[in-house]
Amino acid sequence: MYAMERWREATCHQLINLLTSPGSGSRARTAGLVAAAFADGRLMDAERSIAEDILVVLARDVERSVRGALSEHLRHCAVLPDGLARTLAADVESVAVPFIRYSPALCDGDLVALVHGGAEARQCAVAERDTVSARVADALARRGSEKAVSVLLANAGADIAADSYGVMLDRFAAAEPIQRAMAARPRLPMTVVERLVRIVSEALRDRMVEAYGIPAPLADTLAAQGREGAVVQAVRHEPDAAEMTTLAERLNRFGQITPTLLLRSLCEGDLRFFEAALVALTELSQDDVRALLADENDGGQREILRMASVPEPLFRAFRIAHAMVRDTLADGDCVWCDQHIRALVRRLAQEYGDLCPGSLESVLSQVSSRLLNQRKVAPV
């Protein structure tokens, strides 16, 4: 209302005097006055036409303070004179960046062009907008700087497609800020999760060998444990069965469905991933996998574990874990939790007298070491 009153108090003659005044302060005040009145949205048609002409002139003013006043007052205005939004977005950073960050007058095409322009501050402003479309996010994934991509990944309002995540990993696979920001996204496609945890574990393995002098075989085992733990945690609450199946197929293609990953998924109560992994390993149907696992005489379970290349000494662990998880989850009101995991770990330690009881990670580490030793002594 204040801006409207100021506008209606000013005559065209007064505005012309201000615009032609040699003092930039006067023109900046005029810019603020006209822009605020225009953004208010209640000008009459004749007043709005005059205001549009004035804004176009002011946007070409040589003084940054004048153009900055326009940017400040127009950044939330959805409708602007043709070309004015692009003019302000192309200005010097102090004028352009706040405008790019907020302006609804910039369309996706404008934003993509700004990303392709390559200026990091403008790319970050695009990435930080309240909403970022999949088209703009993909442009940032392909052309944005590492910092701009990190800002995009931290933006909950960004719509990022699976292919765009893949491009980011292609470009910034070794960049830990990208890895951390991507891992923190609320819901990643399962194929992206698989690739992300593989990249992270490989980088972790290299750091353990180079920086800490950990022997390579042990580093491989620890990195694999970290990767497998990340995979199981990521899929635990995945509602999409198709995503789960796709992830299991990809893991199998890379030879990453190990006996310890299968056992871990059971120990953490994830029957869905356990079954999907067995389907991928054996190429049986899900119904056939479930039928074999349900065999009361354990013959079916032993058969499918053989088909999945699980070492026979681990059959008892799988039988115990599968039975505990199945019986617990059979009660629709019961949720598998840390208490159940601890009880299962104690049961496994009792069954295998040479396993030291402790945490799930400790038991899985001992199982991994046992399998590694078995491979070392296996006949050629």
Per-residue pLDDT of the chain (380 residues; tens, 9 = 90+): 455 455 444 444 445 455 555 445 556 676 666 766 677 766 666 666 766 777 777 777 767 888 888 888 788 888 888 788 899 999 999 999 999 999 999 999 999 999 999 899 999 999 999 999 999 999 999 999 999 999 999 999 999 999 999 999 999 988 888 888 887 887 788 778 777 777 776 766 676 566 657 677 666 666 676 777 777 777 776 777 888 888 889 889 888 898 989 999 999 999 999 999 999 999 999 999 999 998 867 789 999 999 999 998 889 889 999 999 999 988 777 889 889 999 998 888 888 877 776 778 777 777 766 665 655 444 33
HSE, side-chain direction, 13 A CA sphere, residue 223: 21
Determine the distance from the C-alpha atom of residue 175 to the mean position of all C-alpha atoms in its chain, rounded to a whole number: 14
pTM for this model (two decimals):
0.62
Amino acid 11: pLDDT: 40
The angle at the Cα of 86, spanning 82 to 89, to the nearest 5 degrees, equals 145
Determine, yes or no, domain membership for 35.
Answer: yes
Amino acid 97: pLDDT: 96
Determine, yes or no, domain membership for 237.
Answer: no
Determine, yes or no, domain membership for 240.
Answer: no
What values do phi and psi take at 158, rounded to 5?
-90, 130
Buried b (16+ CB within 10 A) or exposed e, 300-312: bbbebbeebebee
What values do phi and psi take at 274, rounded to 5?
-55, -45
Determine, yes or no, domain membership for 61.
Answer: yes
Beta carbons within 8 Å of 78's beta carbon, 6+ residues apart = 104, 105
If phi > 0 it is left, if psi is from -120 to 50 it is alpha, else beta; for residue 281 that is: alpha
Buried b (16+ CB within 10 A) or exposed e, 177-195: ebbebbeebeebbbbbbbb
- Residue 161's CB is within 10 A of a number of other CB atoms, namely 14
Amino acid 83: pLDDT: 87
Determine, yes or no, domain membership for 293.
Answer: no
Q: Which domain holds residue 19?
A: 1-81
Amino acid 124: pLDDT: 97
Determine, yes or no, domain membership for 226.
Answer: no
Beta carbons within 8 Å of 28's beta carbon, 6+ residues apart = 63, 65, 66, 68, 69
Side chain identity at 114, as an amino acid letter? Answer: L
Determine, yes or no, domain membership for 49.
Answer: yes
Determine, yes or no, domain membership for 58.
Answer: yes
- Residue 217's CB is within 10 A of a number of other CB atoms, namely 11
Determine the distance from the C-alpha atom of residue 77 to the mean position of all C-alpha atoms in its chain, rounded to a whole number: 31
158, β-bridge pairs: 132
Q: How many domains does the chain have?
A: 1
Question: If we measure between CA atoms, which residue out of 369, 375, 277, 283 comes closest to residue 318?
Answer: 277
